[in-house]
Amino acid sequence: MSKICDITGKKVITGNKVSHSNIKSKRRFYPNLQTKKFYIPEEECWVTLKVSANAIRTISKKGISACLKDAEKKGLIVF
């Protein structure tokens, strides 16, 4: 299962873990993903999406329909 947000496209990035003695080793930064169900009133159906916490705020602000259209335009989902 991929760790990519369906709305914003956020995904895992890599960086360095830095110890107290300043030794660097590779690590991964994961997005804060949640599996959440949203109701689409235009189509009268529920859709389950894997979204980041930031995307949940965006959906609350713009609405689910507008966010799905934007994500489809970016090529993140096929709806």
Given a cut of 70, whether residue 79 has pLDDT beyond it is no
4 within some domain? no
Q: Is residue 54 part of a domain?
A: yes
User: What's the pTM value of the predicted model, to 2 decimals?
Assistant: 0.84
Tally of structural domains, the chain: 1
41 three-state secondary structure: coil
Strand 45-52 versus strand 33-40 pairing type: antiparallel
User: DSSP character for 9?
Assistant: -
Q: Is residue 3 part of a domain?
A: no
- Separation between Cα atoms, residue 42 and residue 76, nearest integer Å: 21
Q: pLDDT at residue 7 above 70?
A: yes
Is residue 79 situated within a structural domain?
A: no
Reported confidence tier of residue 1, pLDDT bands at 50, 70, 90:
low
- CATH number for the domain including 37? 2.30.170.40
CB 37, CB 47: distance < 8 Å: yes
**For residue 28, what pLDDT is reported?**
97
Instruction: Assess if residue 25 is contained within a domain.
Output: yes
Render pLDDT for 17-56 as a digit per residue (tens, 0 to 9): 999 999 999 999 999 999 999 999 999 999 999 999 999 9
